[in-house]
Each structure stands twice: as structure tokens, then as C-alpha cells.
Amino acid sequence: MGHEIKKYKMLIGGEFVNAASGKTREICDPGNGKVVAIVPESSKADIDAAVSQARAAFDHGPWRQTSALDRGKLLFKIADGIRARAAKLAELEVLSCGKPLAEAEYDIADAANCFEFYAGMATKIHGETMQVPANSLSFVVREPIGVCGQIVPWNFPMLMTSWKLAPALAAGNTCVLKPSELTPLTALDLAEIIVEAGIPAGVVNIVTGPGPGCGDVLSAHPQVDKIAFTGGTNTGRQVMAAATGNLKKVSLELGGKNPNIVFADADFEAAVDGALFGAFANQGEVCSAGSRLLVDRKIHKKFVEAMLKKIPNIKLGHGLEEGVKMGPLVSRQHLEKVEGYVAAGISEGAKLVCGGKRPSDAALAKGNFLEPTIFDDVTPAMKIAREEIFGPVLSVIPFDTEEEAIQIANDTEYGLAAGVWSTNINRALRVVRELRCGITWINTYHPTFNEMPWGGYKQSGSGRELGLYGIEAYLEVKQVNINLDEAPIAWY
């Protein structure tokens, strides 16, 4: 894996540029600590420049005059560009965020599909006419919001970038996108694809830098009309507060502490697989991870034993190595944070039945690896059952009745996702109806579809991404009234 260290530039106003300050950041492979790329480390001056370009492109550029059909054609070109570079993009995703190559390849394919879905949606933005009391032709049109600031996380860099850019562009907006400072590489490669596709200068600007001094400036910027953020709930609160300055529109996709509920009548093998995949896919660094496993007490012990038998199949290693099922966590700092939760679980009396430590294999010592970790006999009040860990840590909570399962599942400040495993479809649907969350699965866990809305209840965010809802989030609604009476109103 001898990779040349590429020096990237940001995209501002159609030009590839360095940070105004000249500062840079090294991007390191979380699997071995090696530097894989150098990117600009921007600050307020760069955000201001990018917003200014996006503002000019929206207010005065050709984008407003570009037909929906032509916008769609450009998005189809971006999808083609992603597919043409898919192998390189997947590798970059592994080298910056650590996930196994098979997962990265899936993400890149899905990102292309996302651009294609919204390419088709560009020509399907509907208005409506209404019968009103006056002699008026009254109708509603939907128009782009304007300049959209978009901040994406490090766990699905390319996918989250696509979820933000594709609907915003289909709707006719201009964008300033800030990828995570830890994983900006695929977004910067996408910048090249966007330019090659022929998107006009200033319509998409991609700026790299940290949250403090960069993301917060974008969130508060008076020239930005909308902010869309995916990340932790605490940061989401800060983004929302910053947006109040000019009351910009806000979309937030935040954390989760998601229950995965297994009833005694579940397909046992399928539920065991689903519980492990729900907890350990993408190293558990997933907002919708099934990190609380609620198991019917009648099968509880047998279920935990069955999971433990499969843990050796979860091969740890560098994401580019053959057969690896779980890669490193994104950074050493994040690894230590997750280890802090493991220590909390032990101190609170949960039973650590596997993992909880860094692997003993010397070949993995330089990476940010943590073994897949399962705590049994967790109580709903424990820290590991209440706070989002965002790592490969599963908390198993036994329950006795359907009502108790629902009560435990809903006893959280979050409301993003949940799974229910049962061969009794009436029970499964009954439970799903009671769950206070935005995404639910029955007898599966984790599949995401570009066609379906993504987002949560409670402190898991506001608004929805993807599907028809995803484009609505980037549109304003305008009413138009045409007076059909030829005589003056004679009010005065």
C-alpha cells in the first residue's frame, strides 16, 4: 500500500485553490497512521470567499436560468463521473475513514445512485392550483431556497456529501459544502467530477477545515439561506443556534441510541446476524447503529451465546486487506473516547462478554482498532444504554413483555432508528407503530434507500433527507394570484 501523498486543493468559484492562510492538514490512514494526503486548512476568509461565490452564482449567474431538464442532465453526468472513478473513490474512503473496502464500494455505488435519483427528480418538482373565494387564478410554485451551507460527517463521507449536494442542485440552489476535516478526500475528488460535468462556476464550492473557525462560520453566515448538518446532537444544537442570526432554514440529521428488538418468535439465525450487523457494520460508527439490543428473556442467554460464536468471523484489519469485516475507528482520539465508554460500562456493573480492548495482533498496533465489544445484562439506566458511543459496542438488555420492550426502546432522548424481529407480522407492526423514531426495520437492519426519507424524531434531528422529502427540504413555496376581474376594486 505505497501511496503517493497527494496535495489537494479546494473548489471555490470554479477554481481549485489553497487556503488563504496557506495552512494545510495531513490526512492520516486510521489503519496504520500513515499520511495519505495533504489538504487545505481553511478559515473564515475561505468560507467568506466560497459563500460570496455561491451568492453571486445564485443571484446573478446562469444557474437560475438553467432549466430543470438541463440541471438533471448535469446530475446524470456527475453520477457517471462517480462510476468512472468508483475504484479510486472507494480506496480513498478506506484510506481516510477506515471502513472495509466492500462497504466503501457499496457507498460509492449508492452515491452515484443518489445523484441519478435526484437527476430524475429535477423535472418533477410540482406546483398546485387551488380554488379560492375570489375570481383569481391562484397557484403555488416551488423555488430554490438560495445559498445552502452543508456540513457532512466523517463516517460516510461520499454518501453524506451526495445526500446533501444532489437534492440541493436538483432544486436549483447553490452550495458551500464542508466535509469533515478528518475525511475530505472523496469530496475533493468529487469537486473535480463536478467541474468536469460542467456545473457552472460558483454553484458548488467545497471548502476543507475544522468545525471551529470554519463550520461555525458557515452556520452563522448572514449570506447563507439554509444550513444542512449531519453529525452529533451537541454540535447540531450549536448549528441551530448559529442559524438564528438570519433565521436560515435548518436541516439536522443527528445522533441515535437505537433499539434493535428481538422477540422469542423471531427467525433466530436471521436475528443473530441482524443484531451483529446492526451493531458492528462500519465499526459501529453509524448514527442508526442498533447499539441497544433488546432481547426477550426467554431466548436471551441462547441469543448472546449464538452471537459470541460468530464474533471470531468478524475479521479485524486494514480495510484494503482481503476478508476484513471491521476496520479501525476514524482517529486515535475517537478510539480513546469509545474506550472511555467501555470503562464506564464495566464500572457500572454491566457484564463484558467479549472485546472491550485493542487487538493483541502487533500488525494492528499502529491503527485505531477496537475489538467488537458486547456488554450483557445492561440496565436501561446505564451510561452505555443512554449515550451514543459511535463505536463497536453493543449493549444487551433483556425484557419480559412487549409493553416493556416498547417502554425501554422509547426511553431515550433520541428517535432515529429501530429494528423489530418477529415472525408475527401483527406484533411487529403493532410495536413499530408505538416506536417514536423516524426509520424502522422489520426482520432486517440497516438498509437505506435513496427513494425513502431519512431522519429522526426528538433529539435525532429535524427535517428529512432522501426521497421526495429530500428535495422538499431545498425548496421554498410561493403563492401566485392572478386577478381575473377586469374592473378596479373601487376600495377608495
Residue type, 272: V
Measured between its terminal Cα atoms, the distance across the chain in Å is 82
Residue type, 287: C
Active site residue 253: yes
DSSP lists the bridge partners of residue 252 as 229, 462
Active site residue 269: no
Of 287, 371, 388, 465, which residue is the catalytic one?
287
Of 91, 93, 253, 285, which residue is the catalytic one?
253
- Residue numbers annotated as active site: 253, 287
